[in-house]
Amino acid sequence: MDVVFDGQCGFCTRCVGWLKRLDRRDRLAFHPFQDPLTLDAFRLTHEDARSAVWALDGVVRLSGAAAIAAVLDTAVGTRLFGRGYRFPSVARPLEAAYRWVAAHRYRLPGATPWCTEHPQDCSAAVPGAGCAL
């Protein structure tokens, strides 16, 4: 599964590191949307990628909390998160929590942003650096 995230966001980068540790079978591939090839490769607009994290697996295209559930399922090799997300009583609070985190991302602890640590993976030509996770 491919995960498109904001490489300029320290919190997003910290989450990527955590997910890499959970993903012991290397089922996830992470792509900062600032990579000049990422948006075209996954048919995303800049606004799509800037507004939410994306999980893409073939024809399945998920964003926001649904993407997080799919990524967690893939990382740990379960279907628990995705199954729970199917219930509106679970999905609604998860979406609300996701939106809260996204709105407060700059106040949350993070790591050195991916694009700072791996400048070869990112392009300075991509406008905007809002965190998407």
- ∠ CA(8), CA(6), CA(53), 5° rounding? 160
**Alpha helical stretches, state H, 6-130:** 10-22, 38-41, 46-51, 64-76, 80-85, 88-103, 114-117
Cα separation values, 116 from 92, 100, 103, Å: 34, 25, 22
The ranges assigned to domains in the chain are 2-121
116 neighbors 124 (Cβ within 8 angstroms): no
Q: Can you tell me the distance from the alpha carbon of 35 to that of 64, in angstroms, rounded to the nearest whole number?
A: 20
pLDDT at 121: 87
Q: What's the pLDDT tens digit per position in 86-95?
A: 899 999 999 9
pLDDT at 31: 96
pTM of the model: 0.87
Percent residues over pLDDT 90 in the chain: 71
Q: Can you tell me the distance from the alpha carbon of 83 to that of 100, in angstroms, rounded to the nearest whole number?
A: 22
10 neighbors 113 (Cβ within 8 angstroms): yes
